[in-house]
C-alpha cells in the first residue's frame, strides 16, 4: 500500500505526485508542471504532468485504474505523446506511465510501441507501479542533487527490452540507480521469490487444465497431450527470447498472433505455420533440437490456442524472469505420466541447485556433466556461473561461445524429459544442446574427460539388471552393486564349525572319537586359512543378492569413471581431481546395507563436504520427506592414498522455501553471509592454509580458529 493508493483520482493523486516530482527533480534542473488545477485532474488532450529541461521532455500519465480498465488509457497516452513530440521536435521525448500495478496488456502495448521505436534514441515509454515510483521519488527527494543526476535518471529508458513486468522494472531502478541499497536488494529478491513461487503454482494448475482440455476435446490423446503443452510453452519461450535478444516482435501475444494469422492468410491453422517457422530457425536446425517427429497435433486449431493458451498465459513472461515455464511443464509431465514424483526424479529446488553450483567453485574451462539432468537446472546454472567468470576478459565472446557449445553436457533416460532439457539449454543460449536421451550410467565416451559432475539422480531403487547392462558391463563398471560375498559366508560357517567342534571336545567321548574331532578341527583350520587368504587378496566368490539399489549409489559408481584423475595439476594433493556434487538418499550414508558404498567413496574420493538437508527440502516440489544430503567429493588419482584433510559437515534446516511453498530463511546461502556457503569457504581457506609444502598439518588447522555456527 502506497500513499497514492488512498488518494482521490480527480482531486488528489495527480497533485500529490506533481508535488513529489517537483521536490525530487526541480533541484536537479528539471521543470515540473501539473496540467490540472488544485482541485481537478488534467483535462482531456493533455498529459497529466510534464517534466522538461532544455534537452528532454517527459510526459507523466497517471491512472488509478487496474487490470483491463487500463485498456482505455492507451490511446490518449499515445495521442498526448505525439503532440508533445511535434511541439518539442528538437528534444528527446519520453513517457512515464504510473498506476497501482501495470496490467499485462498495457505492458504488451508499451512493449510493442518501444520496439517500433527501437532505432530512435528517445520515444520510449516506461511503466512504473506506484510502489516503485514512491521508492524512486522518495530517494531523490531525500538525496542531494549531485546524487542521481539527470543523465543517470534518463538511463532508465535505455534497457526497454526489460520492461516486461513490475518486478523486472523495479530491478531496473535498483540496478541503474540504487545498487548500493542492500535493503532494497533483499526486498527485491524476496518479492521475486514470492512471485516466482506463486506463478509456478498457477502455471502447474493451468497446464494441467490445458492438458485435460486437449484430451477432452479429442485434440491430442495420452502422452501427446502433454507434448502439445510442452511445444506451446516452447513457442512462447522462443518468441520471448527472440524479442529480447534480436529485438524482434513477439509473434505469440494475442494481438501479434492475430496479425500473424492475417499475414499468413490463415485463421485456422496458423499455429502450425508458426511452429514450422520456428523449427526452421538455423540454430535450432543445427542443434537438432526439433525434428520431423516434433509436431503439434493436426487437430489443433488457432481458436483453441488463443482461448486456452495465449489468453490465459499472456500475463506471464517466462524468458529472463524467474518464472520457469518449462519446469512447470516438467512437473505436470511427472504428475501425469503415472510415475511417482519422488525426490530427484523431477525437481531439484532452485536454491539447492544454486548452492551446489556455488559450492563447486567451477573454473571457466571446466567440462561439466549431469548424467541425470532432468530439465537441466544444474547445467543452466553452471553455464551461467562460468560465463559470469569470463565477463570482461580479453577473449570474452570466444570464451562464452566455447563454454556454451563445448563444455556443458547432460543425459536423461526419458526421451520427453531429454527434449525438455534440450529446450531449456537452448533457451539459456547453449547454442548446441549437448543433451542425449540415453542412460547416464552408460556414457563410456566420457570416461576420464569430465571436470565436474553436478547431479541429483533418482533416489529410489533402480533396476541395474536391465538388458543393456550385460554381465561384462556390470563386472567392469558396477563395483558397488548389492552382492553376497559367498567366500565370507563360507568363512563364517567354517568358524562356527570350529567353535562347535571345540565345544564337543569338552564333553565325555572315547579317545578314538576325540581323535576324529581333532582331525576335523585341523581340516577346518586349514580351510579357514585358505578362505582368509582369498578375502585378504580380494579373490572372493560373489553372487548378486538384489537386482535393485539406490540410484545415487549407482551414479556415484559411474562418476568415478567419468571424472578426470587430475583436473588441475597446480592444486594441493587432495584437490587435483575431478569433482562430484551429488544429492544422495541418507540411507546410502548411514545404513548397514550401504556400508560397501561408503567404503567405495572413501577408496576413490577425497570427501570435501557433506551437507545434510532438512527432510522438508523437497516437500514443496514433490510432496515427499525423503531425507537427503549433498556429497561433495574429489576423485583420488590413486585409490591407495589416505585422506588427511578434515571433512566439512553442515545441516541446512531451512532452504528458502517452507512446506507451504512460502519464502523463508535460507541456511545454504544468503546475502548477509551467515550461511553454510560462507562457512564452507572459510573452512576450505583454513584447510588449504594448513599445508606445509604438500603435507597437511593437522595441528596448524586446529590452531586456525575455524568455528562452526548456528543459523536462525
Query: pLDDT tens digits, residue range 155-214?
Result: 999 988 889 889 889 999 999 999 988 888 888 877 777 777 788 788 888 999 999 999
Decide: helix, strand or coil at residue 334.
helix
Burial 290-326 (b: 16+ CB within 10 A, else e): beeeebbbeebbbebbbebbbeebbebbbbbbbbbbb
Decide: helix, strand or coil at residue 103.
coil
Find how far residue 14's CA is from the centre of its chain: 42
pLDDT at 593: 78
pLDDT at 341: 42
Query: pTM of the entire structure?
Result: 0.79
pLDDT at 345: 47
Q: Which residues of the chain have pLDDT under 50?
A: 338-345
Q: CA 126, CA 61: separation in Å to the nearest integer?
A: 10
Cα Rg for the chain, rounded, in angstroms?
A: 32
pLDDT at 620: 65
Asked whether the beta carbons of 626 and 615 are under 8 A apart, the reply is yes
> What's 13-180's CATH class?
alpha beta
Q: What is the CATH number of domain 340-459+552-672?
A: 3.40.50.150
pLDDT at 660: 75
CA torsion, points 277, 278, 282, 283, in degrees to nearest 10? 180
What values do phi and psi take at 611, rounded to 5?
-110, 110
Amino acid at each position: 500500500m502506497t500513499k497514492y493508493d488512498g488518494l482521490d483520482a480527480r482531486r488528489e493523486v495527480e497533485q500529490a505526485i506533481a508535488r513529489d516530482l517537483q521536490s525530487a527533480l526541480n533541484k536537479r534542473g528539471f521543470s515540473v508542471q501539473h496540467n490540472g488545477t488544485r482541485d481537478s485532474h488534467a483535462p482531456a488532450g493533455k498529459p497529466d504532468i510534464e517534466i522538461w529541461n532544455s534537452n528532454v521532455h517527459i510526459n507523466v500519465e497517471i491512472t488509478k485504474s487496474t487490470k483491463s480498465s487500463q485498456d482505455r488509457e492507451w490511446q490518449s497516452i499515445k495521442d498526448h505523446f505525439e503532440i508533445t513530440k511535434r511541439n518539442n521536435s528538437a528534444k528527446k521525448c519520453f513517457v512515464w506511465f504510473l498506476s497501482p500495478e501495470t496490467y499485462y496488456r498495457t505492458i504488451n502495448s508499451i512493449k510493442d510501441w518501444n520496439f517500433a521505436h527501437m532505432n530512435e534514441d528517445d520515444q520510449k515509454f516506461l511503466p512504473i507501479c506506484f510502489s516503485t515510483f514512491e521508492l524512486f521519488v522518495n530517494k531523490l527527494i531525500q538525496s542531494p542533487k549531485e546524487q542521481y543526476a539527470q543523465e543517470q535518471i534518463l538511463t532508465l529508458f535505455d534497457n526497454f527490452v526489460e520492461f516486461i513486468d513490475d518486478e523486472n522494472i523495479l530491478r531496473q531502478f535498483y540496478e541503474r540507480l540504487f545498487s548500493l541499497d542492500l535493503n532494497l536488494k533483499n526486498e527485491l529478491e524476496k518479492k521475486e521469490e514470492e512471485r516466482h513461487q506463486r506463478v509456478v503454482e498457477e502455471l502447474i494448475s493451468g497446464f494441467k487444465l490445458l492438458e485435460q482440455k486437449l484430451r477432452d476435446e479429442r485434440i491430442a490423446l495420452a502422452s501427446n497431450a502433454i507434448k502439445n503443452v510442452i511445444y506451446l510453452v516452447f513457442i512462447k519461450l522462443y518468441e520471448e527470447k527472440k524479442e529480447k535478444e534480436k529485438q524482434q516482435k513477439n509473434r505469440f501475444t494475442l494481438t501479434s498472433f492475430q496479425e500473424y494469422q492475417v499475414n499468413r492468410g490463415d485463421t485456422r491453422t496458423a499455429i502450425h505455420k508458426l511452429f514450422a517457422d520456428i523449427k526452421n530457425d538455423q540454430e535450432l536446425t543445427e542443434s537438432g533440437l526439433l525434428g520431423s517427429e516434433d509436431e503439434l497435433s493436426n487437430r489443433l486449431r488457432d481458436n483453441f490456442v488463443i482461448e486456452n493458451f495465449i489468453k490465459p498465459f499472456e500475463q506471464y513472461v517466462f524468458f529472463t524472469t524467474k518464472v520457469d515455464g518449462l519446469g512447470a511443464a516438467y512437473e505436470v509431465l511427472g504428475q501425469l505420466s503415472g510415475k511417482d514424483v519422488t525426490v530427484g526424479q523431477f525437481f531439484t529446488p532452485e536454491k539447492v541447485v544454486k548452492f551446489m553450483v556455488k559450492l563447486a567453485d567451477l573454473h571457466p574451462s571446466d567440462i561439466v556433466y549431469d548424467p541425470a539432468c532432468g530439465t537441466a537446472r544444474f547445467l543452466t546454472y553452471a553455464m551461467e556461473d562460468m560465463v559470469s567468470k569470463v565477463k570482461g576478459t580479453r577473449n570474452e565472446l570466444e570464451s562464452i561461445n566455447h563454454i556454451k557449445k563445448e563444455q556443458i553436457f547432460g543425459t536423461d533416460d526419458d526421451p520427453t524429459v531429454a527434449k525438455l532439457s534440450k529446450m531449456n539449454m537452448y533457451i539459456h543460449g547453449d547454442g548446441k544442446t549437448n543433451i542425449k536421451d540415453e542412460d547416464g550410467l552408460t556414457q563410456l565416451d566420457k570416461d576420464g574427460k569430465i571436470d565436474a559432475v553436478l547431479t541429483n539422480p533418482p533416489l529410489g531403487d533402480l533396476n541395474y539388471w536391465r538388458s543393456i547392462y550385460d554381465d561384462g558391463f556390470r563386472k567392469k563398471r558396477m563395483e558397488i552393486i548389492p552382492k553376497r560375498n559367498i567366500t565370507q559366508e563360507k568363512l563364517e560357517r567354517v568358524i562356527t564349525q570350529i567353535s562347535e567342534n571345540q565345544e564337543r571336545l569338552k564333553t565325555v567321548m572315547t579317545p578314538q572319537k576325540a581323535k576324529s574331532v581333532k582331525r576335523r578341527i585341523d581340516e577346518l583350520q586349514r580351510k579357514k586359512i585358505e578362505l582368509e587368504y582369498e578375502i585378504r587378496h580380494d579373490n572372493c566368490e560373489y553372487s548378486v543378492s538384489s537386482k535393485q539399489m539406490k540410484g545415487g549409489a549407482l551414479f556415484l559408481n559411474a562418476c568415478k569413471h567419468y571424472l578426470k584423475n587430475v583436473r588441475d595439476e597446480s592444486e594441493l594433493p587432495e584437490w587435483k581431481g575431478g569433482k562430484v556434487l551429488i544429492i544422495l538418499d541418507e540411507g546410502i550414508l548411514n545404513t548397514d546395507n550401504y556400508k560397501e558404498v561408503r567404503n567405495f567413496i572413501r577408496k576413490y574420493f577425497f570427501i570435501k563436504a557433506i551437507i545434510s538437508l532438512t527432510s522438508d527440502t523437497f516437500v514443496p516440489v514433490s510432496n515427499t520427506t525423503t531425507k537427503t544430503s549433498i556429497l561433495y567429493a574429489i576423485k583420488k588419482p590413486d585409490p591407495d592414498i589416505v585422506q588427511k584433510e578434515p571433512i566439512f559437515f553442515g545441516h541446512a534446516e531451512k532452504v528458502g522455501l517452507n512446506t507451504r511453498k512460502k519464502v523463508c530463511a535460507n541456511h545454504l546461502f544468503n546475502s548477509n553471509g551467515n550461511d553454510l556457503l560462507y562457512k564452507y569457504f572459510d573452512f576450505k581457506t583454513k584447510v588449504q592454509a594448513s599445508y606445509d609444502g604438500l603435507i597437511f598439518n593437522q595441528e596448524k588447522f586446529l590452531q586456525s580458529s575455524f568455528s562452526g555456527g548456528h543459523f536462525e
